[in-house]
Structures are given as structure tokens and as C-alpha cells.
Amino acid sequence: MRAGTVISLASIHDAEAGARRRVLYRGFVSEVFVPYMDPAEEWYYRTFLDAGEYGLGLSAFPLQPGADCPANAAYLDGYYAGQDGKPVENKNMICIFERYAGDVAWRHTEAGFPDRLITEVRPDVSLVVRMVVSSGNYDYILDWEFKTSGSIKFVLSLTGLLEVKGTDYTHADQIREDAHGTLVAENTLAVYHDHYVTCHLDLDVDGTNNSFVKNIITTRRNTAGTPRKSYWTVHREVAETEADAQVDVNAAADLLIVNPNKRTRMGNEVGYRVVPGGATAASVLDDDDYPQRRASYSKKQVWVTPYNRDEKWAPGLYADQSTGDDGLSAWSGRDRGIRNEDIVMWYTVGIHHIPYQDDFPVMPTVSGGFELRPANFFERNPLLKTRHPRDDQPPFLNCSCAGDSS
């Protein structure tokens, strides 16, 4: 009811190893924090925690076949407990489909041979699990995408209606003070606001005990006597406690979850790295501001905590009228050990939304997210044995796990 879609026991079939290997024990959206930026009496309280106050599962509605999802998608129904304790069924809450979008999984052209051009290309294909949450005026399209390379992508797509208020202004030239929004139509202001979507990622990379690693890009001065003046190298830091793992993803570093107890034949620790996919905003509100106290975790995009079954919801168990004394920031204040432990990564997709006329009255979709990408998890590229598509093969369709589609 609160989280919506929950991904459980995501694993990889490693054909070379002949075994299934664990990656993500459980992943779900923990919270959607949306603070508006108008401090007026009628607006200051509009700082929503959509999951904790309303429930993402409760705010999901039936998907429209052929529009929300491809024509051959398979659908899953959703169930929740009603106010009388009886199960309530909602049809077509989740769709699952294969995506052939014309993307390339890998390719190379070798042009160095006389009178011969060698090109190898493999098309990309992924499996998408989608839910759409309509929370008030906004619609959130939440995609979990599983790629044949071993990557797991989370993509948040925003659309819906802007939150607007009436005004005396009819032209932008009339505005002489902070209006807290954009004039999108006569007498209509769309108010500035943020979107922070926080995912709870209980990663078990090739086993339960993992560590969090920062591969930091560091500039060095060249002392080798060659004409180059500088270069960069990697400084590796392994987080010992929670304080070491609160990270701004806009800094120059690779962030990894590794299994220090498993290594490749080359001696590298097997792992996955988190790759930002746009939408990396962090909160700029003052720490003593009430909405920021409730969602203090929004100052950083990445947090890592030791697994605790009671720590699922970033703003705390009871989000409604919360005061900030529970939740991710408070838990991390204990600064517990996280090296070679069962750990959880929290990743926040953040957007500072300055409305524009093009967003009014219904906003075109804008997307952001992140990718969990193998990092020395395999001995080599797992797609090398992918077959080349036949010349006589018909065009790809968005296939699904459905049976007879005739």
C-alpha cells in the first residue's frame, strides 16, 4: 500500500559460471517528498510526503493497455487491505514487457584491414516493470528496467498537472517582486517546487555481506618527464561507518557496492556501481525549516546504512505530522559500521522544478533515475555470446511474458 511496486530477489544468470548470482534482495520507492516554495499563509504547508501520507500503492490506478504500456504487455493486479480489513482488488496495476527501442547493446567497426570492413552490432533488449502513481496533481511513471548486460535501471518520469494559484498578474513585465512561481497564463502562477523520490535498495551483491566504495577521481601533476602536465588517477576509499557514506553524486567519483569476500580471476572485488541518470538535485532548504526537518535525508542523494528490518521508510514510520526525530538521517546519526556488512543503499532522484509555459496545463514527461551497473561482477562482457540478429528476422515487437496474443 505504501511502497507500490516491490522488486524482490533480483538475480543474474551467469552463463559462464553456470549459476544464478544475487544482486538486489529488495528494492522499492521509500518516499516521494514534494515541498512547494511559496511561504504564504495559504501555501507554506504544502510539503507533501506522498508515500507516507497517502500511499503510492493506494494512489495507483489501472493502466491503460496500448497507451501506458505496449500492446503486448502482461498485467498484474494489485491487492490491499480495505478499511474493514477485507482484501480489495485493483486490476492492471503493474505491467511487464520487453522493450526493443532501437538501442545498441554493443558494437564495433574495425576499419584497419585493407579492402575489408568488419562491423559487429547487437541490439539492446530489456525487461520493464512499470507502475503509474497518480498522487494528486502529479503522475509518476515508475519503471524498473532489467538489462541483459546485468544492469538494473530505475527511471522516474513526471507528468500531470502543475500546482497553480491565482494572481493579479497578466504579463511577466508586471512582476516586480518574488512571485514564487512562473506566470503560465493570465492570472495563473505555477509555483516553484521540488521532487525527491527516494529508493530503498537492499543490495546483496553475490552474497549478503557487502561494502561501500568510493573511487574518487584525483588530479595529479605529471613528474614523468613527458610533455603532459597533468593526469587523473583513482583514490579508493572504503566506507567504515555511515558517516563515510553520505554522498553528493555530483562529485567526481564512482560509487560501488562490492563483495570483499568474492573476487574475479584477475583479483578484483566483484561489485555493482550506481550511475546517476540525471535528476541529481539535492535540497537547498535551511536545516531548521520544518519540511527539511521531516525530510533531512534530501540533502544528499546517497546514504548507506546497515540492514535493519524496521528501517524502511526514509522519513520514518509515521510520516504524517512528523518532526524529524525518526527516519534515515536520525538512524545514520548513530554512525554504525557498514564495512563487510549486510547494507542498504538509499538513492534519491531529485528535481528542482521551475515551471514553464510549455508545462501548462498538462506537463510533458520529464525523466531521471539511476542505473545499478556491473563493476567487475563478470569475468568479461556477458553479452559477447549474444547472437547476431538474422537478416530474415522480422522487426522486433514489444513482446511480453503473456501467452497467446492472437
| Pairwise CA distance, residues 24 & 9, whole Å | 6
Give yes or no: 50 in active site.
Answer: yes
> What backbone phi and psi angles, to 5 degrees, belong to 160?
110, -155
CB 211 within 8 Å of CB 257: yes
Q: Identify the DSSP state of 330.
A: H
Three cell numbers written together for 188: 495563473
Three cell numbers written together for 374: 556491473
Grouping H, G, I as helix, E, B as strand and the rest as coil, residue 35 is: strand
| Pairwise CA distance, residues 295 & 125, whole Å | 37
Please choose, from the candidates 255, 249, 260, the residue with its C-alpha nearest in 3D space to the C-alpha of residue 237.
255
Give yes or no: 68 in active site.
Answer: no
Q: What is the DSSP string of 237-279?
A: EE--BGGGG-B-TTSSEEEEEEEEEEE-TTSPEEEEEEEE-S-
Place of cell 509515521: 318
Q: Is 27 exposed, middle or buried (0-12, 13-18, 19+ CB in 10 A)?
A: buried
Q: Which among 38, 50, 139, 206 is annotated as catalytic?
A: 50
| Pairwise CA distance, residues 47 & 233, whole Å | 42
Q: Which among 25, 138, 297, 347 is annotated as catalytic?
A: 138
> In sequence order, which residues have a C-beta less than 8 Å from that of residue 195 and are 6 or more positions away?
32, 33, 34, 138, 158, 349, 350, 351, 353
Active site residues: 50, 138
